[in-house]
Structure 1
Amino acid sequence: MSASPMDEDDGATSTSAAEPVIFEDDGEFRHVDGWNSFQFDPPLTHTDALKLSSSAQELGYRMLFRRADYSIEQIQQQLVERGPGSFLNMVWLQEDISPKAPAPTVEQRMAARMRKLAPSDELIITDPYLFTGSRKHDSQEYADSVVRMMTPALTPGLRITALVSSSGNNPIVRAAVLDGLRAQVQNLDITVVETDDFHDRFWIADGERGLIIGASLNKIGGKIFFVDELSRSDIKAVLDEVDAIVGTCA
């Protein structure tokens, strides 16, 4: 985040965009172009911020993020590419809210995340309902959707280990999905392990890069969900559990 200039004649000093603007308290109310600033203590909750924004609009004001070089589309793109965790260390999001661009489909976004995950040798998937019987009635349609999302991550000879729920591992859905994946890329080595030890959906590439996905692929497009990057410590913790489970089932 870059620093922004301010008019020193008005008693303000230049400051980093990551910090609140500080004025000397001389009893004057200041309104300096883009640097009009208020700070809430304690910090606003998301719900209260929306209420304040609504009240401001009724009075004829717009409540804006203050960084004009960081658009809402860029926030959306960062959420898609890196997940909400990428914002956790930010003190301030400063930008004007610009019109939304047409959003890509959820499948396309997931495919883009899979492409960025880029496994070269191994892909670990923990998704209890990856082969859920709830998609038995439209198993081919579901399989085609999974293939579209996963194809950007597939390379010849890739080893895929999928850990799924024993009660949710429907043979018809499983066959449709696996046949679809194998039809896309040659020599995929796919192992399916039944376990009820995982609830969360982790996707880990080559033991180094990982995602947590807030919904099973069978729910993609039907519910609001998040995708976030895993830290190295989380990746290690997940892989330790996977190794223990796969070793027991071997």
Structure 2
Amino acid sequence: MNVPSHRIKGIISIRFKSTSQIDAKEYLLEHGLTKTLAIQTVNEQVLPDNTPRAMLIDTIRYKLYQLDAKHSLTIVDPFLFPNGADPDYESDLFHLLAPCLQKCSQLTIVAGPKTHTPFRVHIENWIRSQSSINLTVKLVDEFHDRYLIADDKRGLFLGTSLNGVGKKYALVDFLQDQDGRQYRAAGRSDSVRE
């Protein structure tokens, strides 16, 4: 028996993934009852290309608002400080970060080692001028994807670098808390240099 996902009010989905009683039993043994019957909020959004960049940045900003970072925000983006950024990128980045700078005491940026140093220093100086936030910037070559992680646990996955928003289709979605904690812990690893 193939039971499709059921949507309740378009937001919550309950997923049953079995095709027969035997498959259901195997699935329950492998994944457990809680995961099998888990109610999940569907929150992903597509960031389409050729949409005004300001609208897409506002979508990400709203998702960041929903994360409700109270103490810390970690940005993992290998391409956060690019050479030859779009003309609006700097103001978009400031617009995105401004609310977090007022609420959080710690901002950690994990970027790729190939950064445009003058641009990176400019952004760091702007962040420090806006608040008394403790800023840590780490340059690593261990991440490919982009994440925003609030309070070391809740997070967002971004399918594009902030500089690439609007150039191609991309996805933005919430991470499960355990994934956010895992990515945040990886950003603290000893192989990461400051």
Answering whether residue 90 of structure 2 is matched by residue 143 of structure 1, we say yes
Answering whether residue 36 of structure 2 is matched by residue 18 of structure 1, we say no
How far 1:18 sits from its partner (Å)? 3.1
Distance in 1 between residues matched to 2:69 and 2:173, nearest whole Å = 17
Structure 2 counterpart of 1:175: 121
Distance in 1 between residues matched to 2:104 and 2:165, nearest whole Å = 27
Distance in 2 between residues matched to 1:110 and 1:180, nearest whole Å = 21
Answering whether residue 52 of structure 2 is matched by residue 106 of structure 1, we say no
Task: Kindly report the root-mean-square deviation, in angstroms, between the aligned alpha carbons of the 2 structures.
Answer: 2.7
Which structure shows the higher strand fraction? 2
Report how many aligned residue pairs link the two structures: 150
1:245–1:201 distance in 2 versus 1, CA, 3 Å? farther
| Aligned partner of residue 134 in structure 1, secondary structure | coil
Pick one of 116, 133, 152 that aligns with 2:83. 133
Distance in 1 between residues matched to 2:120 and 2:96, nearest whole Å = 16
Gaps of 5+ in 1: 1-16, 20-41, 43-77, 85-103
Pick one of 118, 121, 129 that aligns with 2:71. 121
Distance in 1 between residues matched to 2:171 and 2:126, nearest whole Å = 26
Gaps of 5+ in 2: 8-18, 20-40, 46-53
Structure with greater contact order relative to length (CA < 8 Å, sep ≥ 6)? 2
1:143–1:245 distance in 2 versus 1, CA, 3 Å? farther
User: Which consecutive aligned stretches of 4+ in structure 1 deviate over 2 angstroms post-superposition?
Assistant: 152-158, 175-183
Distance in 2 between residues matched to 1:245 and 1:219, nearest whole Å = 29
Distance in 2 between residues matched to 1:115 and 1:152, nearest whole Å = 8
Q: Which has the larger radius of gyration?
A: 1
Cα deviation, 1:62-110, whole Å, max 9, x if unaligned, reads xxxxxxxxxxxxxxxx87xx216xxxxxxxxxxxxxxxxxxx8112111
Q: Letter of the aligned partner of 2:193 in structure 1? A: C
Q: Please, what TM-score do these two structures have when normalized by structure 2?
A: 0.67
Q: Please, what TM-score do these two structures have when normalized by structure 1?
A: 0.53
How far 1:190 sits from its partner (Å)? 1.4
- Counterpart contact for 1:158–1:187, Cα < 8 Å: yes
Q: Letter of the aligned partner of 1:249 in structure 2? A: R
